[in-house]
Amino acid sequence: MIIEMKNIRKHFDGLEVLKSISFGVDSGEVVSIIGPSGSGKSTLLRCATFLETIDGGEILYMGKKAAHTDESGKAVYVHHQELRAFRAYCGLVFQQFHLFPHYNVLKNLTDAPVKVQHRDPKEVEATAMELLKKMGIAEKAKAYPYQLSGGQQQRVAIARALAMKPAILFFDEPTSALDPELTGEVLKVIRQLAEEKMTMVVVTHEMPFAKAVSNRVIFMEGGLIVEQGDPKEVFDHPREERTKQFLRVFER
Amino acid sequence: MTLSTMISTMSAGMLRTIGIFLLTLAGSLPLGMIVALLRKSRIPLVRGIIRVYISVIRGTPLMLQLLVWYFGPYYLFGMSIRGWRFPALITGFVLNYAAYFAEIYRGGIESIPVGQHEAGEVLGYTKAQIFMRIILPQVIKRIMPSVTNEVITLVKDTSLAFTLAYQEVFSLAKQISASQTSFMPFVIAGTFYFVANYVVAFGMERIEKALDYYR
């Protein structure tokens, strides 16, 4: 397993956002997480990528513990130096891209691999250009983010995450800030990554995409996993009443 | 006294004015950043001290602050203040401007979207790297107009050095005007300030232009 999260609990100001969630992702697996807003999907990703600290539970990457719960029931993380090694396992693509506006496209991709991972600048640049080609935006290498469309910006963001060579890539509603036309070009890129067996977890509202691309679908609501399984099963024959209700909205 | 002797007598004052200006910037621009960061310190006592410092500096006249820095050591501790004039002057200016710059920096830092920090964090940058590589360059671009304002104000504020009888261009203008019963020294001083600010505005505009390559 690339990542394993066990009994994850998280609350914000008294509101329980995650109520004992457990899930794991195998190498090469593509998992979609669906559910209404406020169900805890984004928080789960943010806990997995260490942007939020969990209150309780366990996070393991490659079988190694990044966080666990001690006898008093409090979550304890490894020392922050060690945590940086865990961070290297995962990448995150944001809904709002969050590219660095003062760096051109190429620099957005190469800066962290060179400055954080201390890789050879030449090798990094070659890898970055490869990625941009794959994303269909090689000709934009010297452009600045503001000169790109939303779809192009998101593809740069995906390439930026991939340039770090993560073992798993998380997507937090990657197309929610895009209009339908641009959504297509981003989904195409994610689909291509899936075919290459990139391990991915995608929080999305694009149901046809989730059904077509993922190996497993998780339906979350109220900080719990309500149902999960094979996408065809979950979408065509949902077991839980709540899942049926939720999916019905999308059929209209 | 001919016009050219007036100008040459006052030119020594102009150099002193430029000296105050440059030393104040050299001290207050970096100190302001330290103050801005300390204001966001995790230690409440540090935050408290910084907040009091900023509010006292902003709440009292610079002229009064200069007098306190100069005469304070004598009245408070009975110390000799010989040779303390210029250091007191620069201390007063630097601490005053650092407080204003700190507030400008703070506004700039807080205006950068959280997403920039988070993107940096996920990519594994250290806190220091996030600040130096991602946040600070964007902050500098955003605060340029406010900094320009402050720097132009400083050019004019240097004239407050006359309070400590420091012979910069404004003090000299007053003296020469009185002794020669002439209005001319004020015209010369006014022209000097205007030209100095013109140069400052031109320089700052160039910097802003240079940062125009992204939005």
Question: Reading across the β-sheet that carries A3-12, which strands appear in turn?
Answer: A15-25, A3-12, A56-61, A64-69, A75-77
Q: In chain B, which residue's Cα lies nearest the Cα of A162?
A: B123
Distance of residue B120 Cα from the nearest chain A Cα, in angstroms: 8
ipTM value > 0.95: no
Q: Residue A195 is encoded by which pair of tokens? A: 């075919």
Of A92, A111, A146, the CB nearest to B215: A146
pLDDT band at residue B83 using 50, 70 and 90 as cut-offs: confident
**Whether B50 contacts B38, CB under 8 Å:** yes
Pairing of strands A3-12, A30-34: unpaired
Q: For A214-240, what is the mean pLDDT?
A: 94
Subunit contact A98:B137, Cβ cutoff 8 A = no
Rounded distance between C-alpha atoms, residue A140 and residue A122, angstroms: 19
Q: What is the mean pLDDT of residues B171-186?
A: 93
A165 has a chain B CB within 8 A of its CB: no
The closest alpha carbon to A24, from A238, A194, A215, belongs to A215
What pLDDT sits at residue B79?
Answer: 86
Is the distance from CB of B179 to CB of B188 less than 8 angstroms?
no
> CA of A192: how far to CAs of A89, A135, A151, A189, B116, in Å?
21, 9, 16, 5, 27
Task: Give the residue numbers spanning the domain of B85.
Answer: 3-211
Tell me which residue in B122, B133, B138 faces A115 most closely, judged by beta carbons: B133
Confidence of residue A100 (pLDDT cuts 50, 70, 90): very high
Q: What is the CA radius of gyration of chain A?
A: 18
Q: Do B122 and A84 touch (CB under 8 A)?
A: no
Q: Using a CB–CB cutoff of 8 Å, tell me whether A102 touches chain B.
A: yes
- This prediction's pTM: 0.90
By the CB < 8 Å criterion, does A94 face chain B? yes
* pLDDT score of A129: 97
Q: Which residue from B20, A204, A181, A177 is spatially nearest to A190, judged by alpha carbons? A: A204
Tokens matching residue A65: 């513990």
Beta-carbon separation of B123 and A94 below 8 A = no
CA distance B163 to B174: 12
Mutate to test the interface with A, among B118, B123, B135 (most CBs of A within 10 A): B123
The CATH number of the domain holding residue B53 is 1.10.3720.10
pLDDT confidence tier of residue A252, bands split at 50, 70 and 90: low
Q: State in Å, rounded, how far the first CA of chain B is from the last one.
A: 55
Q: How many domains does chain B have?
A: 1
> Cα distance from B85 to chain A (closest Cα, Å)?
44
Given pLDDT bands bounded at 50, 70 and 90, which one contains residue B175?
Answer: very high
* Torsion, CA B175, CA B176, CA B179, CA B183, rounded to 10: -110
Residue B2 has pLDDT above 90, yes or no: no
CB-CB contact of A228 with A218 (8 Å): yes
- State pLDDT tens for residues A119-151: 999 999 999 999 999 999 999 999 999 999 999
User: Which two three-digit tokens encode residue B54?
Assistant: 């900023």
- Contact A102/B214, CB-based, under 8 Å? yes
B133: which DSSP letter?
Answer: I
Q: What is the mean pLDDT of residues B69-88?
A: 91
Please name every residue paired with A21 in a beta bridge, in sequence order, or none if there are none. A8
Rounded distance between C-alpha atoms, residue B185 and residue B188, angstroms: 5
The backbone region for A14, taken as left when phi is positive above 0, alpha when psi lies in -120 to 50, beta otherwise, is left
Query: Measured between beta carbons, which residues in chain B are less than 8 angstroms from residue A90?
Result: 122
Q: Spell out the residues 6+ positions from residue B146 whose beta carbon is closer than 8 angstroms to its own.
A: B104, B107
If you measure CA to CA, which chain B residue comes closest to A83? B124
Q: How wide is the angle at C-alpha A197 spanned by C-alphas A196 and A199, nearest 5°? A: 130
Q: Residue A249: pLDDT above 90?
A: no
B212 — contact with chain A (CB < 8 Å)?
no
Interface list for B 119-138 with A (CB within 8 A)? 119, 121-126, 129, 133-134, 137-138
Span B126-168, pLDDT tens digits? 999 999 999 999 999 999 999 999 999 999 999 999 999 999 9
Question: How far does chain A reach from its first CA to its final CA, in angstroms?
Answer: 37
Chain A, nearest residue to B119 by Cα: A98
Mean pLDDT in residue range A153-182: 95
How many helices (H) and strands (E) chain B has is answered by 9, 0
Which positions in chain B touch A162 (Cβ < 8 Å)?
Answer: none
Tell the burial category of B186 from Cβ atoms under 10 Å away from its Cβ (0-12, 13-18, 19+): middle
Please give the Cα distance from B118 to A50 (Å, whole number).
10
Q: What are phi and psi of A195, to 5 degrees?
A: -65, -30
